[in-house]
């Protein structure tokens, strides 16, 4: 990993591989644990969720472009077929 590359290529802490997501307006279902109430997640089912607003305190968050990736050992491989790169 090149630690000198700027955002959004800054390595995600603890990841086994770097990622960069270009959101394409897809649906998302997620829980936001805002710092105003970290034990009370706010649930979102939304389209175009590039930004989220906490309904409790009004804080606005930008949806990230990176994921924490965990490399699976051979005996952890899922039954479903993993997605293939479009570059191949």
Q: Which of 34/49 has CB closer to Zn ion?
A: 34
CA 29 from centre of chain: 12
15-74 residues in contact with Zn ion (CB under 5 A) are 34, 36, 54, 56-57, 59
Cβ atoms of 10 and 65 closer than 8 Å: no
CA 11 from centre of chain: 13
Smallest distance, Zn ion to C-beta of residue 41, A: 11
- Shortest CA distance to 48 belongs to which of 69, 72, 23? 23
Q: Which of 9/44 has CB closer to Zn ion?
A: 44
Smallest distance, Zn ion to C-beta of residue 76, A: 35
Q: Which of 38/78 has CB closer to Zn ion?
A: 38
Cβ atoms of 31 and 21 closer than 8 Å: no
Q: Rule CB under 5 A: which residues touch Zn ion?
A: 34, 36, 54, 56-57, 59
């Amino acid at each position: 990993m090149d630690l000198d590359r700027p955002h959004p290529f800054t390595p995600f802490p603890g990841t086994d591989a770097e990622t960069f997501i270009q959101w394409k307006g897809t649906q998302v279902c997620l829980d936001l644990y805002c710092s105003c109430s970290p034990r009370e997640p706010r649930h979102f089912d939304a389209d175009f969720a590039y930004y989220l607003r906490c309904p409790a305190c009004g804080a606005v968050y930008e949806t990230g472009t990176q994921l924490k990736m965990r490399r699976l050992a051979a005996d952890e491989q899922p039954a479903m077929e993993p997605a293939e790169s479009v570059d191949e």
